[in-house]
Amino acid sequence: MLSVIILAAGKGTRMKSEKPKVLFEAAGKPMIDYTIELSKSLNPDKIVVVTGNMAETVQEHLRDYSIDFALQKQQRGTADAVMAAQDFIDDNGKVLILCGDMPLIKEETIKGFIESVTEKIAFISVKMKQPKGYGRVVRASDNKVLKIVEEKDANEYEKRINEVNTGVYLCDGEELKKRLALIDNNNAQNEFYLTDIVRDGAEAYLTEDEDEFMGVNDRIQLCTASKILYKNRAEKYMLNGVSILDPNSCYIDDGVLIGRDTVIYPNVFLENNTKIDRNVVIRSGCRLNKAVVEENVEIKDNTLIEDSFIGSGSSVGPMAHLRPGSYLEKDNKVGNFVELKKAKMGEGSKASHLTYLGDAEIGKNVNIGCGTITCNYDGYNKYKTIIDDNVFIGSDTQLVAPVKIGKNVLVAAGSTITKDIEDNGLAISRTPQNNVANKGKEIMDKNKAKKESKK
């Protein structure tokens, strides 16, 4: 029987925030989620999260997971936190102890640890280039672990030790309870240290990758952890046939799917379960949130796509904005400074530049001229514009919804359309043009004379 105890009660004082530390996002996901998902991958019999600071907020965030909670009423150290979960420890089972602020630990590392341990009390250690702040692993001449000394309690010799405790433990349930009962708070911080359970003998499982066990205590470390996570993700996609020009500036959330032969330029954000098919090009400065992009699409520079569908063969951007509910069926073109909101475009339709299409249903092979606006909001309600197949909308047209444009219609540039247009029709709505001979020069000469007289 395996139980997992996750320590998530800390205040995170160095974060300088009211928010619980474990809920800060690392590479697009709260840190505690990484630890929960790691725990789930081990198929344990139970998972217990020890909360303390803002316990209700943490529990609410984790409400969809099938886990138990224990409450550390006072912040009295890591051993005290584990003691808060004693009722969930089975005497005949194994207990894995993890921290909720360590998002970089890999599943294979933990599985290797569990499979290798032979002692009743064991922990993972790692050698760090800069061990400051971590508990040092003190060994005897025969290499057996004597103790773990916290930074504030270490002498000068012990501070030079670069093997540190990671805070990950695997213990027999009965033995863990026995050793917890013997711990006191006679130390520099007057806290009950979980590290003291190793004093009566323990096995140290030495690992090599110090980055995995970086704890996040401030926003600088959070940024560092996020960069590692983002780069690791990018490299996995690259190994699966995705070209990422700069993995150091590609920000892909966990859960995003990307097809082969897709090319991603620098400074791209792919968020919230976005799905990218094969042979897609995403150029610099783009952000896709909950987007679905089919094959052979090009997303040009500085484009924002939110909760929208991009059909195969389409081109979007540069500097376009697809707001939630936008749907490009296939072979569409949405050009620079075009904004769509709850707008569906049929196959082959295009809006090349400087256009707003909101609450619109657009058929096939429609051309939307520059400067066109669907006037969908009257200050109180939203209304729909419907444009049928093979329509040409001239530049600088206002379509005042609700309005329906039939098939094969031509709308002249500069028109304001307030009435439905039947199939095959021509719509023109303009003020008659009046040309007055020589009047333009006369006015400009007068204005020039006024300006000169003021000097």
- What is the end-to-end Cα distance of the chain in Å, rounded? 93
CA distance 353 to 362: 16
Cβ neighbours around 209 below 10 Å, total:
12
Phi and psi at residue 205, to the nearest 5°? -95, 100
**Per-residue b or e along 283-319, where b marks 16 or more CB atoms closer than 10 Å to that residue's CB:** bbbbbbbebbbbebbbbbbbbbbbbbbbbbbbbbbbb
| Catalytic annotation present for 321 | no
Q: How far is Cα 412 from Cα 415, in angstroms, rounded to an integer?
A: 6
Cα 131 to Cα 163: distance, rounded to the nearest angstrom: 8
Judging by beta carbons within 10 Å of its beta carbon (0-12, 13-18, 19+), is residue 144 exposed, middle or buried?
Answer: exposed
Q: Are the beta carbons of 291 and 273 closer than 8 angstroms? A: no
d(CA 172, CA 203): 12
Which residue of the set 310, 353, 356, 411 is catalytic? 353
Annotate 270-327 with DSSP letters as a single string: EETT-EE-SS-EE-TT-EEES-EE-SS-EE-SS-EEES-EE-TT-EE-SS-EE-TT-E
Judging by DSSP bridges, how do beta strands 398-400 and 416-417 pair with one another? parallel
Q: How far apart are CA 191 and CA 213, in angstroms?
A: 22
In angstroms, the CA 85 to CA 121 distance is 17
Residues 6+ apart with CB under 8 A from 455: none
Q: Which residues contact 328 (CB under 8 A, 6 or more apart)?
A: 308, 309, 310, 311, 314, 316, 334, 345
Task: Enumerate the active-site residues.
Answer: 353
